[in-house]
Amino acid sequence: MTKSRQPNGASSIYLGKDGNWHGYVTVGVKDNGKPDRRHIKRKTRADTTKAVRALEKERDAGRVRKAGQTWTVESWLTHWVENIAALHVSENTIDGYRVAVYHHLIPGLGAHRLAKLEPEHLERFYKKMQANGSSAGTAHQVHRTVRAALNEARRRRHLTENPATIAKAPRLVEEEVVPYTVEEVQRLLEVAGRQRNAARWVIALALGLRQGEVLGLKWTDVDFDHGVLVVHRGRLRPRYQHGCGDTCGRKPGYCPQKINVRRETKETKSRAGRRPVGVPDELMKLLLQHRDKQDRERSIARDLWVEKGYVFTSPTGEPLNPNTDHHKWKELLEAAGLRDGRLHDARHTAGTILLILGVPDTVVDAIMGWEPGQSARMRRRYQHLTNRVLKDTAAKVGGLLWSEVR
């Protein structure tokens, strides 16, 4: 039987010389500009017609995979992280993606055909990760990464459905953060006062600035006349390459001639993050003292000093390394005789102090740098109902309800 001529792009059905019924459906355009025609073969015309109509329906719903390269999970993840994600996310975010891709996902799932990856493959992989010692938080970060990568594959029609949106994510139980008490903060500030860069810790505990925001502060951001500092940028973690031609036998970060290939800071990513913050008079006095000490360090360092304008620096003027800063926090806690805690717990502590003081929510949001759409959720996360808050609230309730009885 000869084929009846159809308009360009229309599906066609005909009986072939082999005795089978054949159908062709145009589902798009190939990379070379030619129509992407998919072939269907069945024993009967009815079955072929049914299959053609089903494929047309899939095409119209945008659920037909794009013709071209046959991706494996490894090849797609590598392409996605280096050629797509790296161009559109921050340096810190791409670092996290690369760890998830190269250290976890490719070794564990890379051999799968992308189109054949199933939700069960992912769920078994997460379980295996945790059995091998990875935390639930790490497994959850890997899940978020693969979900983002496969969402992009689906958007580009390399997948018809994202298995990571179907797979059950690893159960993540957030650890309860216990902020430091006012008395513990006072002890920390007392001990910090005897150390270099003491004002760095006062800013964290009193104002709740993030680590990157504190380390990215420059003197031009501090207005001593009005008692305000303005957050503009955040310090980035350095990323090193060998300066020795990879001959030292060490990791890049430990190379004697290492070269930092990353910019020092980045602008805050949101309007809420760029914010003025009122500074207590006591902290302003401390910053003035800190500036005087830095001037003396500059004189001692002489030609070794690199002037970049940062508030908190190394003894030669370089911005502080976030990793070194983290270890200094741990040393401060130990010197103060306090329990161990994350550096980010200082931000939780500052948020809770604002709650104790009864600062209005809108002012809290501005100080902490929270977006309006996130503010309520972030307050629930960062402001903790301490015993002091609960007792003060109970006293207010009692004073209202039993005032006449008393």
Cα separation values, 377 from 27, 176, 262, 301, Å = 44, 16, 33, 47
Terminal CA-CA length for the chain: 103
Indicate whether this model's pTM tops 0.85: no
- CA dist., res. 310 & res. 213, Å (int): 11
- Tens digit of pLDDT per residue, the chain (406 long)? 445 555 666 888 989 889 999 988 887 777 677 887 888 899 999 999 999 898 888 888 777 776 656 799 999 999 999 999 999 888 888 989 999 999 999 999 999 999 899 999 999 999 999 999 998 989 999 999 999 999 999 998 888 899 999 999 988 776 677 788 888 888 988 999 999 999 999 888 888 888 999 999 999 999 999 888 888 898 988 888 888 888 888 888 888 888 888 888 888 766 656 888 888 888 899 999 999 999 999 999 999 999 999 999 999 999 999 999 999 999 999 999 998 888 888 887 777 777 666 767 677 677 777 676 666 666 665 555 555 555 655 565 556 555 555 5
Which residues, other chains included, contact 278 with Cβ-Cβ below 8 Å and sequence gap of 6+? 227, 228, 367
Beta strand ranges found along 243-318 (DSSP E): 259-260, 265-267, 275-278
> Among residues 75, 73, 82, which one has the least CA distance to residue 108?
73
Q: What six digits make up the tokens of 354? A: 């604002």
- CA dist., res. 255 & res. 245, Å (int): 10
Buried/exposed code over 343-357 (b: 16+ C-beta within 10 A; e: otherwise): bebbbbbbbbbbbbe
The angle formed by the CA atoms of residues 128, 134 and 136, to the nearest 5 degrees, is 90
CB 105 within 8 Å of CB 142: yes
Q: What six digits make up the tokens of 254? A: 């430990």
> 86: which DSSP letter?
G
Biggest distance spanned by C-alpha atoms of the chain: 103
> Among residues 233, 225, 227, 215, which one has the least CA distance to residue 275?
233
Which residues, other chains included, contact 142 with Cβ-Cβ below 8 Å and sequence gap of 6+? 100, 104, 105, 126, 129
Count CA atoms within 13 Å of residue 118 on its CB side. 3
Cα separation values, 357 from 266, 354, 378, Å = 32, 5, 18
Q: What six digits make up the tokens of 239? A: 């990323």
Cα separation values, 398 from 80, 386, 401, Å = 60, 18, 5
Beta strand ranges found along 173-310 (DSSP E): 222-223, 228-231, 233-235, 240-241, 259-260, 265-267, 275-278
Say which residue the tokens 């997948």 belong to: 159
